[in-house]
Amino acid sequence: CTAKQIRTLISSKIASTTRQKIGKTFGYFLSGPILGSHGQSKSSIYMATTDLCGVLAAKVYGSAFEADYQREVAVNQVFQQENIVKFIADFRFEHRGGPMFAVVMPYLPLNVAELLRQQTALKSVTICRIASACYNALKHIHSKGIFFIY
C-alpha cells in the first residue's frame, strides 16, 4: 500500500456524516487521520478542531475496545500534574449502528523521543528540563499506583 492508499483507508473509517454529527453534537470537528507510529492498533488518532480551542487530537476507539477507552479515561481523570496531558473531553457516539468512543486532547506534534531526534544541539538546561518533566510525570503516575507494562 502507498501512503495515499493508507490515508484514504483510514480516512474512510469514520464517514463524513459521522464527523459532522460529532461536530454538531460535541463541538469537535474531525478532519483527517494523523499518520505515524502511534503504537496503537485499537484506536485511530484524528486531527480535531473547535472554534474555541484550535487544533486538537481525537483518539477514536472502536466498540470492541470500550474497556480500553474507559480505562484510559478513568486513569486520565486521576492525573492532576502539569507534565501530563489532560483530556479536554471524552464521549460516545454511534457509527454504522455501533458505538465508538473518543477522547479529545491538545495536539502535541512530537513526543520527547522525536523531539530529541530532531534537535542536533540542545542546551544542557533544555535537556535537564525535559528529563525533569518526564521524571515528575512518571513519579506522579507511580504515586497513584499506576504502572504500565508493555
* pLDDT tens-place string over residues 77-135: 887 777 778 888 898 988 888 898 988 888 877 777 777 777 667 788 888 888 888 88
- Beta-carbon-side half-sphere exposure of residue 24 (alpha carbons within 13 Å): 6
Those residues whose C-beta lies under 8 Å from the C-beta of residue 7, and which sit 6 or more positions away, are 32, 33, 35
Specify which residues 106 forms β-bridges with.
Answer: 56
Say if CB 46 and CB 34 are below 8 A apart.
yes
Interval 22-40: pLDDT, tens = 888 888 888 766 665 545 5
Percent with pLDDT over 70 in the chain: 79
Confidence of residue 4 (pLDDT cuts 50, 70, 90): low
Q: How far from 113 is each of 14, 98, 116, CA to CA, in Å? A: 30, 36, 5
C-alpha cell at 23: 461536530
How much is the pLDDT for 37? 52
